[in-house]
Amino acid sequence: MNKKTDDLFKILENGENIGEYFSENIEEIYPDSIPEILAYFLKEKGLTKSQVLDNSLIEKHYGYQIFSGTKKPSRDKVIMLCFGMGLNLRETQSFLKKCTYSELYPRNRRDAVVIFCLQHDCSIMETNDILYEYSLPVFM
């Protein structure tokens, strides 16, 4: 993914054929389902499902159900998966949107901590420590 979202908007605004847009920008478009998005990031980051679940603190049985598509993760679980995959803020925001959840919002105290932690490459455990320090709900 090399093009900025604004550039993709411009291409769509000026384009005359959606099929052409898809074929010319296939590498720029996220897959449609949560399992497909997860598979994309696993490949992109060179991770295994087991590594992601270990890094995200999600119970393995439930986590594998998310990866297979039999369970739809909550917003918190999506954020935990993002930490587990080492996604940056932009990737996390995009993943949340794709899952139909609200993006992280800097005016919300808990979201502000998550944004800070994503920007500073914190683990989910480090993030939980900061959330706990400010009496905010931790990720479980």
**Domain count of the fold of the chain:** 2
Domain assignment present for residue 105? The answer is yes
Taking only the tens place, the pLDDT of each residue in 45-68 is: 999 999 999 999 999 999 999 999
Taking only the tens place, the pLDDT of each residue in 102-130 is: 999 999 999 999 999 999 999 999 999 99
CB 113 within 8 A of CB 127: yes
Domain assignment present for residue 139? The answer is no
C-alpha closest to that of 5 among 97, 83, 100, 107: 97
Residue 110's Cβ-side half-sphere holds a number of Cα atoms within 13 Å equal to 11
Place of tokens 């949107």: 97
Distances (CA, A) of 60 to 34, 36, 67, 81: 17, 18, 10, 12
pLDDT in the model for residue 1? 64
- CATH code of residue 116: 1.10.260.40
